[in-house]
Structure 1
Amino acid sequence: MPIPSKTITPCLWFDTEAEEAAKFYCSVFDNSHITYTSHYGEEGHEIHGKPAGSVMSVMFELDGQKFTAMNGGPLFKFDEAVSFQVACKDQKEVDYYWEALTAGGEEGPCGWLKDKFGLSWQVVPTVLSDLLTDKDYAASQRVMKAFMQMKKYDIAALHRAFEGT
């Protein structure tokens, strides 16, 4: 008998912005859509305190990856302990995701950023791992030194560091 596969779905806790966030993320990533939106009812109001009819959770997919966003109130906030990596094949993708996800948010070091909802992302060129794991240790260390000084990754600068130019 085959063992069923498990699906891991990140659940993102928002105060009241779950629907807005899901719509935003779906607008940023291709092949993305909202699959279901649920609403609070009268039951449990004494616990959740949300108005009946307000959005409780939004299920959505970003390029095939399932997510749930829920409006749970102001109790929990995002921090950098959890982030989502966006692997980018070229500088055009790095620039696109960086600009889209930092809009209303903030830039961080080494490809990290926070979006306007406070969620942390890493916008990383796929070539970075090749450059950092190359058998030429000195070259990989030059790449490390270069990217530690960057906010948004500059792939051409990473290659120049690798080559020592």
Structure 2
Amino acid sequence: MRVTQHLWFEKDMQAALHCYISLIPGSSLDWQTAVMADNPSGPAGSVQMAGFTLGDQRYMAIEAGPLDSFNHSFSIIVECDSQAEIDRLWTALGEGGSYEQCGWLRDRWGLSWQITPKRLGELMSHPDPAVAKRVTEAMLKMAKLDIAALEKAAKL
């Protein structure tokens, strides 16, 4: 049994996938094809499909016109080891999109991402509830997450 996430793009699927693959190490475009039969989304050849890998996760994508927009019900979480990784992804994925609180952003295609430090999970699950509370409260005040500020909150 395989589990694969599926993304429906209204348009520009190839540009989105190339962007994602270029930003996440260990990623690849595994296959792409046109749907060669008339279907509810358009005539033969107009609907595009692709399989791709982001890091260690498999995805499939379709470009088949408008249906349902992306929303916060589905997001891609990228856990980063360093502030430099967070900064790079935050800037690149947010370009042409919008930035939100708590490490969330929407890219220019409308897909929601959470760019988080691995350290956040460690700090939020600290055995001292006061530390976890301070870290959580600090995180809730941030848009782009700042590892140094989270660690500072943990040490107060």
Structure 1-normalised TM-score?
0.88
Cα offset, 1:96, TM superposition: 1.4
Contact 1:37 1:55 in 2 (8 A): no
From 91, 97, 112, the equivalent of 1:120 is 112
Q: How far, CA to CA, are the matches of 2:143 and 2:137 in structure 1?
A: 13
Structure possessing the higher radius of gyration over alpha carbons: 1
Contact 1:19 1:57 in 2 (8 A): no
Contact 1:19 1:55 in 2 (8 A): no
From 63, 88, 98, the equivalent of 1:106 is 98
Unaligned runs of 5+ in 1: 1-5
Give % identity: 37
Aligned residues: 156
Q: How far, CA to CA, are the matches of 2:50 and 2:64 in structure 1?
A: 12
Q: Deviations over 1:67-106 (max 9, x none)?
A: 1110121111100011111011111111111112111111
1:151 aligns with 2:146: no
Contact 1:26 1:32 in 2 (8 A): yes
RMSD: 1.5
Q: How far, CA to CA, are the matches of 2:127 and 2:28 in structure 1?
A: 42
- The residue type paired with residue 37 of structure 1 is Q
| 2:142 alignment partner, SS class | coil
Cα offset, 1:48, TM superposition: 2.2
Q: How far, CA to CA, are the matches of 2:42 and 2:5 in structure 1?
A: 24
Q: How far, CA to CA, are the matches of 2:88 and 2:152 in structure 1?
A: 22
From 3, 13, 17, the equivalent of 1:18 is 13
- 1:44 corresponds in structure 2 to 38
Q: Deviations over 1:20-51 (max 9, x none)?
A: 2111111111222211111133x325x2224x
Q: How far, CA to CA, are the matches of 1:64 and 1:135 in structure 2?
A: 29
Cα offset, 1:62, TM superposition: 1.4
Structure 2-normalised TM-score?
0.92
Q: How far, CA to CA, are the matches of 1:139 and 1:153 in structure 2?
A: 17
Which consecutive aligned stretches of 4+ in structure 1 deviate over 6 angstroms post-superposition? none
Cα offset, 1:7, TM superposition: 1.8
From 4, 8, 31, the equivalent of 2:3 is 8
